[in-house]
Amino acid sequence: MGRLAGRVALVTGASRGIGRAVAKRFAAEGAEVVCVARTQGALEELDDEIAALGAGKAVLCPLDLREFDRIDQVAAALFERFGRLDVLVGNAGDIGGGLGPVGHYKPKHVAEAFDLNVIANWRLIRAFEPLLRASAAGRAMFVTSGAARAALPYWGIYAASKAALEAMVLSWAAEVERISPLRVNLIDPGVVATRMRAIAFPGEDPTSLVQPDQVAGTFVDLAEATCTRHGEIVRISS
């Protein structure tokens, strides 16, 4: 009996990095985890790793979150299967083709960053709020970045998309605060050894950084039915 025993959780970007670590930790704590990612092979490997834990289990969901209408289809399927969703983790993100001067970004990279970091998360909120509110203790959390508030050179597009995410999620938190037991937060994991970090800093030694499994515990804290934190940007210190 883990801290998330009996809870149904959905994690986006679950095939690698923080999403993978969170999906495995949730399963180890007894949750049934709907693992969303684009790469079927990586999801199957994750399924094997979760099965080896002998605790919770995985439901594999190959999905490109930029195919927005399919998010609605997944929500309908989960309603049919579970009738609710206890935990939503919006982790998948895009760095917009890498770092660069604001005026030099290609339009397609700007669109990709905003589509995944903002619009896809809005579609998740839109599709899954009814299922989260059907839970006795719904919990939602979205991964943000300190870049949203730091005005760093060359991070402009990624930072702008994360700032938009923060504004949207905090507004949603304020909307549901008095009408539902649903709790909504953002998580700023700090500097973590992920593929996105490697794109931004290709010469950096990833072994010198915090590893994804070292930040997964905070996600468990916010996913528990007993968690009362709400409307916060929860920062994980490195």
Q: Is 105 a catalytic residue?
A: no
Strand runs labelled E in the chain: 8-12, 32-37, 57-62, 87-90, 139-143, 183-188, 233-235
Do residues 154 and 100 touch, judged by C-beta distance below 8 A? Answer: yes
CB 170 within 8 Å of CB 186: yes
> Rounded to an integer, what distance in angstroms lies between the CA atom of residue 238 and that of residue 126?
33
Helix (H, G, I), strand (E, B) or coil at 58: strand
Count of CB atoms situated within 10 Å of the CB of 238: 11
Tokens of 92: 């998948």
Quote the distance between the C-alpha of residue 22 and its chain's center: 9
Q: Please identify which of the residues 26, 105, 155, 158 carries the catalytic annotation.
A: 158
CA–CA separation, 27 vs 57, rounded Å? 6
* Strands ordered across the beta sheet of 8-12: 57-62, 32-37, 8-12, 87-90, 139-143, 183-188, 233-235
Looking at the annotation, which residues are catalytic? 158
